[in-house]
Amino acid sequence: MFARLKRLLTDQPSGADGERSHSFEERQLAAAALMVEAARLDDEFDAEERARIEALLRDHFALNATEASELLAAGEKASDDSIEWQGFTRKIKDGFAPEERVALIEMLWEVAYADGTLHDYEASLIRRITGLLYVSDRESGEARKRVVARLGIT
């Protein structure tokens, strides 16, 4: 799996117009990179946030622990190598069904709350990603409420 993800980081678009459809692995990588971006915005990316992202990746994409860990590592590398996160959102918007995009927003809220505190930069990033994924503010707000309730945050 890691070899496939590494190829995704280095491959260039193919096709006459420079575009291609996004594979499932590319969409997984994009989701992982966005979660890493959300976790890093408060300048603290600790073990708890890493564990939360791995669990979300494992559960959402039906991965085993090793695959989730490799995907997280690839997501960190993609985040490090990228100067913008809009490319990640395009892959998700183009490849995920509307309910999957809402599920990703919910995962992002969970990552943002992983340390028990929502930082303004994290909330701002999620609001921007919500718009780029064509998820409504209402759906994002409902996703946020589900996360707050699940985590028992007051």
pLDDT digits (tens, 9 = 90+) for 29-82: 999 999 999 998 888 888 999 999 999 999 999 999 999 999 999 999 998 888
Overall average pLDDT of the 10-28 stretch: 58
Measured between alpha carbons, how far is 122 from 127 in angstroms, rounded to an integer?
9
Closest CA to 27 of 5, 45, 6: 5
| Residue 5 pLDDT greater than 90, yes or no | no
Q: What is the largest CA-CA distance in the chain?
A: 52
Q: Which domains does the chain have, with CATH numbers?
A: 24-151 (1.10.3680.10)
The per-residue pLDDT of the chain, averaged, comes to 85
45: left (phi > 0), else alpha (psi -120 to 50), else beta? beta
The pTM of the full predicted model, rounded to 2 decimals, is 0.79
- Out of 6-20, 36-50, 112-126, which region has the weakest mean confidence (pLDDT)? 6-20
Going by pLDDT thresholds of 50, 70 and 90, the confidence category of residue 150 is very high
Give residue-wise pLDDT tens across range 82-105.
Answer: 877 788 899 899 989 999 999 999
Q: List the one residue out of 91, 84, 85, 74 whose CA is nearest residue 21.
A: 91
